[in-house]
């Protein structure tokens, strides 16, 4: 699913002013000045108002003219300021304000004239250069104050601020965490994998002397809230080294060049304080594959930041005890350059917890609250299939809040139950609780895959079967052991793969009696395999050795639709072949499932309670079942050893 790969248009708008701070500043200033002018307006300019009477027009006149106006009684009142005189015309229909400059020494004669004409006069305080200046400066002062306020806030969030770009003292979080491995539960394998890093950071000298190559970058892969940050902190805590953390997404909002400078500073600090750990959360935000972004997704800032990161990682040797841990839940979209040797060449899976894992995580977090003796964490673990560690921590906290609201002294089982119910509404899309019915369907579906994988010649062996959801799409999964150095697939191996893929859907039909949408992806793959067998591999009677479709060249317009190079009749024959073969294989698969009914039920039972089972467990169940029912073994592993002896 590609639901959140591209930023929505509104996101882009949010970033607009961040990217163009000067433009924002200019627009903002103009707006303030205009507002100021509207409100404070022409108050200070001469003539428009005299003695509180608004004139409709203003007219500049000479001193002599003004005198004449007074003499001819065209003036109603006069105001005398420090440098100017203004007079209000007596014509009430077209009120005119006359203004003129004062002539020193003329005052007395003017006053005498006004007195004799019995015209009202008074002095007025002119706006002088100071108030005039202030009128202009005031809006600027306001702007500067506001600007400084925002700049200060930005500085807090991105460090360095507007002027001191690049000095990243504040935005890199530096701490010496007290988190230990005991605080991270339910991810045993991941903990074992990072143990080596802890040892190295504790005594780097020993490894360096040996000439051992320590991984520089480790990618922690897993859904949100599974404890990747926590695990990274625990590595630092166990090794007692400083922990520098940044979030990949915070780079995106910055001005071009800041991100790169920040990365440089981050590495400088970490190297200065070595041995140390750098943690980059959400690395996909900067490390998104350039190809995946597409033409429109070009982002200079991201690219510069990424290049700087790559340069920094290449810039120090394996003898510098700085380890870079990065977290992502979508490793497949990362730029391949990030995953090359010497960079993030190691991946550690931080999976969602299974049943036992959830009990362990709940136990870690229940320590923070006072619990009642009736609390049964096993029940809560059963109710929370599909949730991640962060959700479980939330549930405990929510339960404590509920207990507090009810004035209880302790957290009771009922509070936890209620918190689970409440949590469901507030959970993110990415963490979905799996209900019992779904769990049952998924357990049968995956067991079907596993059984077929183990009892079909040419199929890949099972490494792990799981009904813990992974990502958004997969509710469960069956992992195969990868076969290395395998470039060729024989015909029977392709057929075996089809059988294994059909095993999921067939198990739903045979054991539940109803089919679900869960097999969509499996069915797509089976169809693809059969199509390729006809079109490319010459493995069908439809086209014989004739190739209907050239192998796609991924460099030259791969994936683009090509014109069909074969007849309608051929196309129809191919469809028939695919349909016929699928039907054939499907009934064979169903027969196999019927034959191994007891084994499937055992697997489902185990899977249902533990949520994860290993390939060995699957094989053991099948072996026992075959022995008990006197079925000649179909287990490929067992047959091989039988043949050898
Ligand atoms: P991520 O980095 O994978 O998104 P976090 O490490 O930030 O997840 O997890 C958030 C919080 O959830 C942690 O601080 C912790 O309280 C809790 N949590 C998540 N996973 C675990 C876990 N495996 N064990 C214990 N607590 C966990
Ligand atoms: Zn499936």
Q: What is the pLDDT of residues 337-349, one digit of tens each?
A: 888 888 898 899 9
Please, is 118 exposed, middle or buried when counting C-beta atoms within 10 Å of its C-beta (0-12, 13-18, 19+)? exposed
What is the rounded average pLDDT for all residues in the chain?
A: 81
Distance CA 165, CA 320 (A): 28
**Is residue 227 classed as helix, strand or coil in its secondary structure?**
coil
Strand ranges, E, within 396-461: none
What pLDDT was estimated at residue 175? 86
Range with top average pLDDT, 93-97, 395-399, 634-638: 395-399
Other Cβ atoms less than 10 A from the Cβ of 594: the count is 12
393 lines ligand 1 (CB under 6 A): yes
Between CA 514 and CA 516 the distance in angstroms is 7
The pLDDT score that the predictor gives to residue 295 is 47
In ligand 1, the atom with minimum distance to the C-alpha of 220 is 3
Please report the pLDDT score of residue 95 as a whole number: 79
For 335-369, the DSSP string reads -GGGGSTTSS-EEEE-PPP-HHHHHHHHHHHHTTS
Tell me how crowded residue 541 is: count the other CB atoms within 10 A of its CB: 8
Mean pLDDT of all residues in 167-196: 83
SS (H, E, C) 1-36: CCCCCCCCHHHHHHHHHHHCHHHHHHHHHHHHHHHH
- Spell out the domains of the chain, with CATH numbers in brackets: 49-127 (3.30.720.210), 173-293+300-349 (3.40.50.300), 355-424 (1.10.8.60), 436-644 (1.20.58.760)
pLDDT tens column, 18-67: 555 566 666 766 666 666 655 554 444 444 556 666 677 788 888 888 88
Distance 228 CA to ligand 1 centre (A): 7
The mean-pLDDT minimum among 88-102, 278-292, 477-491, 607-621 falls in 477-491
Q: Is the CB of 362 under 6 A from ligand 1?
A: no
Q: Say what the pLDDT of residue 549 is.
A: 76
pLDDT of 181: 94
Quote the distance between the C-alpha of residue 553 and its chain's center.
Answer: 32
Q: CA-to-CA distance for 527 and 107, rounded, in angstroms? A: 106
Residue that wins the pLDDT comparison between 383 and 92: 383
Hey, whose CA ends up nearest to atom 15 of ligand 1? 390
pLDDT at 564 over 50: yes
- Active-site positions? 446
- Distance between CA 101 and CA 61 in Å, rounded? 9
Cα of 3 from ligand 1 centre, angstroms: 24
DSSP3 helix / strand / coil % (the chain, rounded to 5) = 55, 10, 35
Whether 227 is in the pocket of ligand 1, judged by its Cβ within 6 Å, is: yes
Is the beta carbon of 177 within 6 A of some atom in ligand 1? Answer: no
Helix segments in 456-519, DSSP class H: 491-507
227-243 pLDDT, tens digit per residue, is: 999 999 999 999 999 99
Residue 12: the pLDDT is 38
CA distance 396 to 367: 10
Average pLDDT over residues 132-146: 80
Q: What average pLDDT score do residues 107-132 get?
A: 77
Pocket test for ligand 1, best of 225, 249, 384 (most atoms within 8 A of CB): 225
Q: From ligand 2's centre to the CA of 501, what distance in Å? A: 6
Residue 127 pLDDT grade (very low, low, confident, very high; cuts 50, 70, 90)? low
Sign of CA dihedral 305, 311, 312, 314: positive
pLDDT exceeds 60 at position 15? no
Mean pLDDT, residues 118-144 taken together: 77
Quick check: 274 and 323 in contact, CB under 8 A? no
Confirm whether pTM is higher than 0.75.
no
228 CB near ligand 1 (under 6 Å): yes
Tell me the percentage of the chain whose pLDDT exceeds 90: 32
φ, ψ of residue 235 to 5 degrees: the values are -60, -45
pLDDT of residue 567: 85
- At 1 the pLDDT is 38
Residues with CB under 5 A from ligand 2 (ion): 504, 522
pLDDT (0 to 100) of residue 485? 62
Q: Which ligand is nearest to the CA of 279?
A: 1
Q: How confident is the model at residue 415 (pLDDT cuts 50, 70, 90)?
A: very high
Point out the least confidently predicted range of 402-416, 557-571, 573-587.
Answer: 557-571
């Amino acid at each position: 699913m590609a639901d959140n790969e591209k930023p929505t248009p509104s996101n882009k708008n949010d970033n607009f002013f961040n990217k163009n701070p000067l433009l924002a500043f200019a627009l903002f200033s103009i707006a303030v000045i205009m507002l100021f002018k509207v409100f404070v307006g022409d108050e200070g300019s001469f003539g428009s108002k005299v003695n509180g009477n608004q004139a409709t027009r203003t007219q500049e006149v000479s001193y002599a003219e003004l005198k004449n106006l007074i003499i001819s009684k065209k003036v109603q009142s006069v105001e005398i300021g420090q440098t100017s005189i203004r007079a209000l015309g007596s014509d009430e229909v077209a009120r005119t304000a006359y203004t003129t400059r004062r002539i020193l020494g003329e005052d007395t004669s003017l006053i005498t004239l006004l007195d004799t004409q019995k015209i009202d006069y008074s002095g007025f305080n002119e706006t002088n250069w100071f108030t005039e200046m202030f009128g202009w400066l005031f809006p600027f002062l306001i702007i500067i104050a506001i600007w400084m306020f925002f700049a200060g806030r930005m500085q807090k969030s991105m460090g360095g601020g507007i002027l001191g770009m690049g000095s990243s003292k504040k935005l890199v979080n530096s701490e010496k965490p007290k988190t230990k491995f005991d605080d991270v539960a339910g991810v045993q394998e991941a903990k074992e994998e990072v143990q080596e890093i802890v040892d190295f950071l504790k005594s780097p000298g020993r490894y360096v002397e040996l000439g051992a190559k320590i991984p520089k970058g480790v990618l922690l892969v897993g859904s949100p809230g599974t404890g990747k940050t926590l695990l990274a902190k625990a590595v630092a805590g166990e090794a007692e080294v400083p922990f520098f953390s940044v979030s990949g997404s915070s780079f995106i909002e910055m001005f071009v060049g800041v991100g790169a400078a920040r990365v440089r500073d981050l590495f400088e600090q970490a190297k200065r304080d070595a041995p140390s750990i750098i943690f980059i959360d959400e690395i996909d935000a900067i490390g998104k594959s350039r190809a995946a972004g597409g033409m429109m997704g070009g982002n200079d800032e991201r690219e510069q930041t990424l290049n700087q990161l790559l340069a920094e990682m290449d810039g120090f040797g394996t003898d510098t005890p700085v380890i870079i841990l990065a977290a992502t839940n979508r490793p497949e979209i990362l730029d391949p350059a990030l995953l090359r040797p010497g960079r993030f060449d190691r991946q550690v899976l931080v999976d969602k917890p299974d049943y036992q894992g959830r009990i362990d995580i709940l136990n870690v977090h229940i320590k923070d609250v006072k619990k009642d003796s009736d609390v049964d964490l096993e029940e809560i673990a059963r109710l929370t299939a599909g949730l991640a560690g962060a959700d479980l921590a939330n549930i405990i906290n929510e339960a404590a809040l509920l207990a507090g609201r009810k004035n209880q002294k302790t957290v009771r089982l009922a509070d936890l139950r209620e918190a689970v119910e409440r949590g469901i509404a507030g959970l993110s899309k990415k963490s979905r609780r799996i209900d019992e019915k779904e769990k049952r369907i998924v357990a049968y579906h995956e067991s079907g895959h596993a059984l077929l994988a183990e009892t079909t010649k040419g199929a890949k062996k099972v490494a792990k079967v799981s009904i813990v959801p992974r990502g958004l799409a997969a509710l469960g999964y069956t992992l195969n052991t990868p076969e290395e150095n395998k470039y060729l697939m024989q015909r029977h191996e392709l057929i075996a793969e089809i059988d294994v893929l059909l095993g999921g859907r067939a198990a739903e039909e045979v054991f539940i009696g109803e089919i679900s949408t869960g097999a969509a992806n499996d069915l797509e793959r089976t169809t693809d395999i059969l199509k390729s067998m006809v079109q490319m591999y010459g493995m069908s009677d439809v086209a014989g050795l004739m190739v209907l479709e050239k192998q796609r060249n991924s460099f030259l317009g791969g994936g683009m639709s090509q014109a069909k190079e074969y007849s309608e009749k051929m196309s129809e024959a191919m469809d028939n072949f695919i349909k016929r073969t699928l039907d054939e294989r499907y009934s064979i698969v169903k027969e196999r499932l019927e034959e191994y009914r007891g084994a499937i039920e055992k697997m489902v039972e185990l899977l249902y309670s533990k949520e994860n089972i290993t390939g060995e467990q699957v094989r053991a169940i099948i072996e026992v079942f075959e022995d008990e029912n006197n079925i000649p073994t179909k287990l490929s592993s067992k047959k091989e050893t039988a043949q050898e002896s």
